[in-house]
């Protein structure tokens, strides 16, 4: 078994343009004579590796706490994609799993989103900061989230070969939040090299 940590560090990853960077502030420190260490975290729900809930782009959509965890645990496929629009035909020629992680800058088209939903896709992830393009954030998010397809963003897929894996990427349970950070990992049947 081989485990890939595909999460970006919440504090060290670049914030989305316009967002403030996350801050970790020391509240109590043992080096200052306290009996314990305690920190306070201030962050956007969309910093580091995170999940978008429907509420992020749909006014009456589910918050992150109401989303089913089943979307975030299970079989997935990692695909390296070209920097072009990705339509339904593109995905018809590729391996399918209910969870698809995209490595690269390809942008989903409306036909791809409909096709993937009809095939039973429950989650789309990307190693980009957003599943939508910077020029068209809204339509891709609204289409995916409207279908109930979970969106997992800002993954670290550089060292992950294309293929099939088990995904574990549960978001933090935060009532009323439109998204949440998560720790995402992939597990393959491949053996870990012996030292």
What's the pLDDT at 193? 59
User: Is 141 known to be catalytic?
Assistant: no
The alpha carbon of residue 185 and the mean position of all alpha carbons in its chain are separated, in whole angstroms, by 11
What's the pLDDT at 190? 77
Which residue is catalytic, options 46, 56, 103, 141?
56
DSSP symbol at 70? G
Structural tokens at position 57: 């782009």
128-161 tens-digit pLDDT: 998 877 667 688 999 999 999 999 999 999 999 9
- For the chain, the average pLDDT equals 94
Give the integer Cα–Cα distance in Å for 125 and 143: 14
**Is the model's pTM score more than 0.75?**
yes
| pLDDT-based confidence at residue 192 (cuts at 50, 70, 90) | low
Task: With a cut of 90, say whether residue 68 has pLDDT above it.
Answer: yes
In our burial notation (b when 16+ CB lie closer than 10 A, e otherwise), range 52-79 reads bbbbbbeeebebbeebeeebbebebbbb
Q: Which domains can be identified in the chain, with CATH numbers?
A: 2-12+45-188 (3.50.30.50)
Least confident of 7-21, 27-41, 68-82, 131-145: 131-145
**Overall average pLDDT of the 22-32 stretch:** 97
**Overall average pLDDT of the 30-49 stretch:** 96
Give the integer Cα–Cα distance in Å for 186 and 167: 5
Task: With a cut of 80, say whether residue 176 has pLDDT above it.
Answer: yes
Look at residue 187 and give its three-state secondary structure. Answer: strand
Instruction: Kindly state the helix (H) or strand (E) to which residue 143 belongs, with its residue range.
Output: helix 137-147
């Amino acid at each position: 078994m081989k485990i890939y940590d595909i999460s970006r560090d919440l504090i060290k990853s670049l914030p989305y343009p316009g967002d403030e960077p996350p801050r970790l502030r020391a509240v109590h420190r043992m080096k200052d004579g306290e009996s314990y260490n305690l920190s306070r975290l201030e962050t956007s729900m969309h910093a580091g590796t995170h999940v978008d809930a429907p509420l992020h782009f749909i006014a009456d959509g589910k918050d992150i706490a109401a989303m089913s965890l089943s979307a975030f645990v299970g079989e997935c496929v990692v695909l390296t994609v070209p920097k072009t629009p990705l339509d339904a035909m593109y995905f018809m020629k590729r391996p399918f799993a209910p969870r698809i992680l995209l490595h690269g800058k390809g942008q989903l088209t409306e036909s791809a989103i409909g096709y993937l939903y009809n095939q039973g896709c429950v989650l789309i992830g990307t190693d980009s900061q957003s599943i939508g393009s910077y020029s068209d954030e809204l339509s891709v998010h609204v289409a995916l989230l409207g279908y109930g397809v979970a969106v997992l963003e800002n993954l670290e897929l550089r060292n992950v070969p294309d293929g099939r894996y088990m995904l574990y990427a549960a978001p933090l349970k935060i009532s009323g939040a439109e998204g949440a950070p998560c720790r995402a990992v992939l597990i393959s049947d491949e053996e870990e090299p012996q030292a």
